[in-house]
Amino acid sequence: MNVEDFQPNKQLLLHAVALLTGAEASIPSEPLPSELPEVGIGSIDALQAMFDDVLGKSRDLGAPGFFAHMDPPTPAITWAMHLWTASRNQNLLHPDTAPRARELEKLAVDWIAPWFGMSGGHMTPGSTVANLTAIWAARESGCRIVVSGSGAHLSIRKAAHILGMEHRIVDDWSNTGDLTNAVAVITAGTTSTGEIEALDAASDARWRHVDAAWSGPLRLSDRYRHLLDGIEKADSVAISAHKWLFQPKESAFVLFADHESAHKTISVEGAYLAVPNIGVLGSHGAIAAPLVAMLLAFGREGIADLIDKSMALADELAALVMAEKDLELRSSPNCGVLCWRHRNVTVDDIKRHLPDDVMVSSTSINGEQWLRSVAANPNANPAKVVAGVMQAAEQASRK
């Protein structure tokens, strides 16, 4: 390694792009060594050696048969931004190491927060950290109990445990008991079924937090934003940009109705800091750059079109399932999430025999196993997915 290794290497970068786009064929590589190599093999050879693990054997989330998880494909503009941000390695902890990157994150927040009636916030690596941050702010405002519905994400339980707070689960938001010292966590888009809980629930809670990790971007859609009416009355909101905003991992927001007050309660000063450190993270990369670039490239209408198309694909999948006598729906799609199954073949057997180019996920609801399809991929082909499941059922029945 020498000084040149920290400078732009056109040959290396062009080779990486050629492998990524298929303009150059990869050379079969040996498995990576099980121990740290004593001597390096050089950047070009290392690039080739990593192809299978990073690209060749990865799932293509934008493939037609991928209708499985809350993980979308990402637009090429975000790949370019990740290349740029990696080359500069900005640390938003310090204004002098990331002056413009800090402004880009503020810009991303300023663009997104108004759609939720929030005054501001900051970005986090995911909604697990966003939920933890919001509940931390709620605790600092006097909350001592976390109350959530049974469909709340597991991160809510984690946050309560980390913060030393009692976690109470309610089955009916109309019967919660005294919430004067509680933060009520309302889920907008449950992980298993996509259900949006009543956003006007727990009106007497000291703090109301909406976990909109999945459904939040619906607010950008003219057609579907009404599904989140009432979210603007929350004290805080969590949104995963690496879900329905089509961002690379790890990208999310925690937004507050009064972000200045909230940020003040979760800020920590340090002798080496020019400004207080806000939230859970210390060092923090320029994760806003890919999002700002994508929003600039597509605009709100472009993002809304992708979301609307994804929702339509869930409806199309539901119609195809209902047309097959051997398949059944649990219910109509909720927020782009569909639970379905074969009437005669188990979910495990279906998944075991699925073709390599088809993927669906699964979940357990009230002790029953269901296939689960999430409309995160606007390139998905519902007919291909149903055909793959029927093929898997036929193969499983022969065993």
Please indicate, yes or no, if residue 277 is contained in any of the structural domains.
Answer: yes
Please indicate, yes or no, if residue 222 is contained in any of the structural domains.
Answer: yes
Please indicate, yes or no, if residue 303 is contained in any of the structural domains.
Answer: no
Q: How many domains does the chain have?
A: 1
| Terminal Cα distance for the chain, rounded | 56
Structural domain harbouring 195: 77-296
pLDDT for 30 = 87
Please indicate, yes or no, if residue 358 is contained in any of the structural domains.
Answer: no
pLDDT for 1 = 65
- 337 torsion bin: left (phi>0), alpha (psi -120 to 50), beta (else): beta
Block means of pLDDT (10 residues each) for the chain, 399 residues, are 85 95 86 95 94 93 97 98 96 94 97 98 98 98 97 97 97 92 98 96 97 98 98 98 97 98 96 94 96 98 98 98 98 96 97 97 96 98 98 92
Burial of 312 (0-12, 13-18, 19+ CB in 10 A): middle
Please indicate, yes or no, if residue 231 is contained in any of the structural domains.
Answer: yes
Q: Across the strands, what pairs with 146?
A: 167, 183
Please indicate, yes or no, if residue 85 is contained in any of the structural domains.
Answer: yes
Please indicate, yes or no, if residue 215 is contained in any of the structural domains.
Answer: yes
Please indicate, yes or no, if residue 2 is contained in any of the structural domains.
Answer: no
Q: What is the CATH number of the domain that holds 171?
A: 3.40.640.10
pLDDT for 26 = 83
